[in-house]
Amino acid sequence: MTEPLVLWKNEGETPLACIDRARREGKIAEGVKATYAGRLDPMASGVLLVLVGDAVHEKEAFLKLDKDYVVEVLLGVSTDTGDILGKVVVAKEFAGGDIAQAVGSCVGEFVEEYPKYSSKTVDGKPLFQYANEGEEVPVPQHTITISSIDLVDTQTMGKQELVDTILSRVTKIEGDFRQQDIVEKWSEVGRVSEIETFTLLTIRVTCGSGAYMRVLAEKIGRLLDVPALAYSIVRTLVGDFHI
């Protein structure tokens, strides 16, 4: 395989915005084709492999590489996207449970649905467009592999600190991602939620291609009988490539 350009995508950027930044910084020549191998959500940061020139035709080989992530899982609240860049659906206090067992239960091979807010296409149209338009369509499934998960840390965060931090992060996002509605929903949590303290887990994940950390976070929550989402996602490794 051709050596890719290894970039660090910032939180708030789309992968295309990251490539545009690399062009401005002189890392990719103007007029030269470039594509990324392995998408990262706007709220995720980390290693982004960019194929330049004729290497764009090798994309499929790079997509198959394993990935490593560090993920913060927020227990006690869920959104329609599975991360903080979504409308709050429900908040419920975490009553306790065997966190280590729940995390360990997520290791293995599983058949899962794609997130409704994802770029997976159905009849040539991304799922997120159907979701934004309120149109229900059959959501495709795929097989994913989680090779390992390590529980790194467990901590708590006060409600107001949590909401203030999320609002600060969401309002920095460029592009149209329903920010106004999302800010209103998170602000409502700050005003009316009776939950004063939220639990935040830090996990380190090694997985195969196609595994969504948002889906993993929600799954951990279901095993603990509490709504959950991916509070932060950092991709640290793609194959052997890292920053």
Rounded CA Rg of the chain: 18
CB atoms within 10 A of CB 148: 11
Rounded CA separation 160/157 (Å): 9
For tokens 């600060």, name the residue. 168
- Amino acid letter for position 199: T
Catalytic residues: 41
Rounded CA separation 36/51 (Å): 6
Please answer whether residues 21 and 50 qualify as being in contact, where contact means their C-beta atoms are separated by less than 8 angstroms. no
Helix (H, G, I), strand (E, B) or coil at 89: strand
Rounded CA separation 178/63 (Å): 29
